[in-house]
């Protein structure tokens, strides 16, 4: 239970800068998720916080203390690893108790704390077993028990769910959130899975190529991505992108895409976009900003390529002006593959991206 501050944190392995300029203030008891593609520096950042990796640049504070040079044990953190890292020669109870041995607790106190943690995670029945005799989900719980029993200042998770099957992963996601509600603790959770990030985080930190692209609540990064990378990485299916130019058409603004079609830009965006007339830009529209219908006064006909029924909705894939794109459709009104259908555009959800630096033009 402590805030964590990362100030211009950086890590170099030899001449390779794996992580640079990480600035992040994590509030007491906040649940923060670092998300990004494999190799973007999430683990390196987390391991610097844990003390498993030395800090090349910047400052790291836990609570009021600068911990740059403290050993992992002195930082009062707990970590859950991707492969659980349970001690194979100890049973579950010993695994959980291992971190308590240094705390001048009596045997009875240790036993009570272990039982407490086991009860919280519903693993009391497994206390005598060796890790070898546990399923993946059970090992995951034991790893969490080992972390939680010490009531540390900060919980660190490094892709703890990626070895579980889809169903168990969804279940553990909820359990970790519930655990966080019952035992409020500052938590930093690393994942490459944007669904995990969106569903679990108070705030999402999107990373790419060793830097932070954006920090915000899940809805922030979804609705107002700061960069094309964030726009593309968050959300599934991914946002649609169309290259074109921003033009004035009488009183109104339009975005002209490759095939010459002009999409109307909402008037409210006029002042925000006024500096960008005539420039080559990229239009970003999420699949739900499109619809298979001719209801609006502006539609474009496209030929559907692939249709993916997901039950609750159906994703329809097509090409538009040379760009692969997708749209969400209601299952009972979804077209078949190969059909030609009219598309309506809800341009109030549009994003304009400057292709030169990949930034989303603010509005």
Ligand X SMILES: Nc1ncnc2c1ncn2[C@@H]1O[C@H](COP(=O)(O)OP(=O)(O)O)[C@@H](O)[C@H]1O
Beta bridge partners of 17: 12
145 near other proteins, rule: CB under 8 A: no
Q: How far apart are CA 302 and CA 104, in angstroms?
A: 71
29-68 footprint of Mg ion as x/- string (CB under 5 A): --------------x-------------------------
Q: Could you say which residues in the range 72-111 bind Mg ion, by CB under 5 A?
A: none
- Applying CB under 6 A, which of residues 9, 30, 42, 77 lies at the interface with ligand X? 42
Whose tokens are 């108070």? That residue is 202
Question: Tokens at residue 330, please?
Answer: 């209601």
Nearest distance, CB of residue 329 and other proteins, angstroms: 45
- Applying CB under 6 A, which of residues 38, 71, 106, 332 lies at the interface with ligand X? 38
Beta-carbon count within 10 A of 16 CB: 8
Residues 6 or more apart whose Cβ sits within 8 Å of residue 33:
188, 189, 190, 191, 196, 197, 200, 201, 203, 204, 205
Cβ closest to ligand X, residue 190 vs residue 265: 190
Residue 355 touches which of Mg ion, other proteins, ligand X, none (CB < 5 to 8 A by kind)? none
Q: Could you say which residues in the range 4-33 bind ligand X, by CB under 6 A?
A: 13, 16, 18
With contact defined as beta carbons under 8 Å apart, do 165 and 154 qualify? no
CA dihedral 266→269→275→280, nearest 10 degrees, is -50
Q: Could you say which residues in the range 11-70 bind other proteins, by CB under 8 A?
A: 50-52
Q: How far apart are CA 56 and CA 68, in angstroms?
A: 10
- Applying CB under 8 A, which of residues 14, 88, 260, 311 lies at the interface with other proteins? 88
Residue 99 touches which of ligand X, Mg ion, other proteins, none (CB < 5 to 8 A by kind)? other proteins
Q: How far apart are CA 201 and CA 197, in angstroms?
A: 6
Judged by the rule CB under 5 A, the positions of this chain that interact with Mg ion are: 43
Judged by the rule CB under 8 A, the positions of this chain that interact with other proteins are: 50-52, 71-73, 77-79, 81, 83, 85, 87-89, 98-99, 101-102, 146
């Amino acid at each position: 239970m402590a805030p964590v501050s990362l100030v211009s944190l950086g890590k170099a392995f030899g001449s390779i800068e794996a992580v640079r300029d990480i600035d992040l203030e994590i509030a007491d008891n906040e649940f923060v998720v670092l998300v990004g593609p494999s190799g973007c520096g999430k683990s390196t950042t987390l391991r610097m916080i844990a003390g498993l990796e030395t800090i090349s640049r910047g400052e790291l504070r836990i609570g009021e203390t600068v911990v740059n040079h403290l050993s992992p044990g002195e930082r009062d953190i707990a970590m859950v690893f991707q492969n659980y890292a349970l001690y194979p020669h100890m049973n579950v109870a010993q695994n959980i108790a291992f971190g308590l041995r240094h705390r001048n607790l009596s045997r009875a106190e240790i036993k009570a704390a272990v039982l407490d943690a086991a009860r919280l995670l519903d693993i009391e029945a497994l206390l005598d077993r060796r890790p070898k005799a546990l399923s993946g989900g059970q090992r995951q719980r034991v790893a969490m028990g080992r972390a939680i029993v010490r009531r540390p200042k900060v919980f660190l998770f490094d892709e703890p769910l990626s070895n579980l099957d889809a169903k168990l992963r969804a279940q553990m996601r909820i359990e970790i959130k519930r655990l966080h509600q019952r035992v409020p603790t500052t938590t930093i959770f690393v994942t490459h899975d944007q669904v995990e990030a969106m569903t679990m985080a108070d705030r999402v930190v999107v990373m790419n190529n060793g830097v932070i692209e954006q920090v915000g609540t899940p809805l922030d990064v979804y609705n107002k991505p700061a960069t094309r990378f964030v726009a593309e990485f968050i959300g599934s299916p991914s946002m649609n992108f169309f290259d074109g130019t921003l033009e004035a058409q009488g009183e109104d603004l339009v975005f002209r895409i490759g095939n010459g079609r002009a999409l109307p830009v909402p008037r409210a965006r006029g002042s925000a976009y006024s500096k960008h007339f005539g420039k080559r830009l990229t239009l970003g529209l999420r699949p739900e900003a499109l619809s298979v219908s001719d209801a609006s006064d502006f539609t474009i006909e496209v030929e559907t390529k692939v249709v993916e029924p997901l039950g609750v909705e159906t994703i329809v894939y097509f090409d538009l002006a040379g760009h692969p794109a997708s749209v969400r459709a209601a299952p009972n009104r979804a077209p078949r593959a190969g059909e030609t259908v009219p598309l309506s555009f809800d341009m109030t959800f549009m994003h304009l991206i400057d292709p030169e630096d990949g930034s989303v033009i603010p509005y």
